[in-house]
Amino acid sequence: MEKTWRWFGPKDPIPLAHIREAGATGIVTALHQIPGGTAWDDDAIAERKALIEAEGLRWSVVESIPVTNAIKARTADWRHDVDVWKDTLRALGRAGIDTVCYNFMPIVDWTRTDLAWPLKSGLALRFDIIDFATYDVFVLKRSGADGDYEASVLAEAEARFRSMSEERKEELERIILAGLPGSDFAYDRAKFTDLLGVYDRMGPDELLQSLTEFLNEVVPVAEESGIRLGIHPDDPPFPLFGLPRIVSTESDVAALLDAYDSPANGLTFCVGSYGSRADNDLPDMIRAFAPRINFLHFRNVTIEAPGIFHEAEHLEGGADMVSLCAAILDEEDRRRDEGRADSAIPMRPDHGHLLHADPVRNANPGYSYVGRLKGLAELSGIIHALTAIRQ
The catalytic site residues sit at 232, 270, 297, 350-351, 367
What is the distance between the alpha carbons of residues 325 and 1, in angstroms, rounded to a whole number? 9
Short-list 249, 312, 254, 325, CA closest to 281: 249
Q: Which residues contact 76 (CB under 8 A, 6 or more apart)?
A: 70
- Is residue 226 packed enough to be buried (19+ CB in 10 Å), middle (13-18) or exposed (0-12)? middle
As a residue count, the chain comes to 391
CA dihedral of residues 186, 189, 194, 195 (deg, nearest 10): 30
Q: Between vectors from CA 7 to CA 273 and to CA 32, what angle results, nearest 5°?
A: 90
Q: Are strands 2-6 and 26-29 parallel, antiparallel or unpaired?
A: parallel
* Neighbouring residues of 290: CB distance < 8 A, sequence distance ≥ 6: 327, 328, 330, 331, 334
- For residue 140, the 8-state DSSP code is S
